[in-house]
Amino acid sequence: MSEADKQADSRATVSRHARDHLESALSTLAALMHDPKAQAAQVRACENIIAWGAGKPGRYVDIGSLKGLTVYDAVDHVISSVASGQCSLEDGEALIDMLKKRIDLTEVERMRRELEDLKKQRIANVQN
C-alpha cells in the first residue's frame, strides 16, 4: 500500500469515527452557541468533530478524482482546485507533496527501464 493510500485510509477512518460523534457535537455546539460562559476548547472540539465527520464543503480534493490521471494532470487539478477555492492552500500543498513523491518514483522507474533496455542491448550485441 502506498503512502498516499495509507493517508487516505487514515483520513477515512478518522472521518468514520468523527461521524459517530457528529450528532452529539452538533447538539453541544448548538447549546454552547447561546452560552456566554462556553469554553473555547469545547467549541473547538465540536468544530473539529463536525469538520471531520461532515467535511468542509468545497474545501477538499477528492483523492479518488485523481485516480487515472497522470501525475502532471493531477498536479494541475490540485492547483486549479486551490486557485478556485475548492481546496485549501494547506491541503493543496500536502497533495502536491504527495504527488511529488509519485513523480520521483516514476522517474526512478523510468531510469530503471532505460538501464534494463541498455543491458538487453549489450547482451544482444555480445551474442551477435
Q: Around Cβ 109, how many Cβ atoms within 10 Å?
A: 10
Are 19 and 53 in contact by the 8 Å Cβ rule? The answer is yes
Reported as a single tens digit per residue, the pLDDT across 74-119 is: 888 888 888 877 777 778 888 888 888 777 677 677 778 888 888 8
Q: What percent of the chain has pLDDT over 70?
A: 86
Reported as a single tens digit per residue, the pLDDT across 41-77 is: 777 777 777 776 666 554 567 777 777 888 788 888 8
Which is more confident, 19 or 55?
A: 19
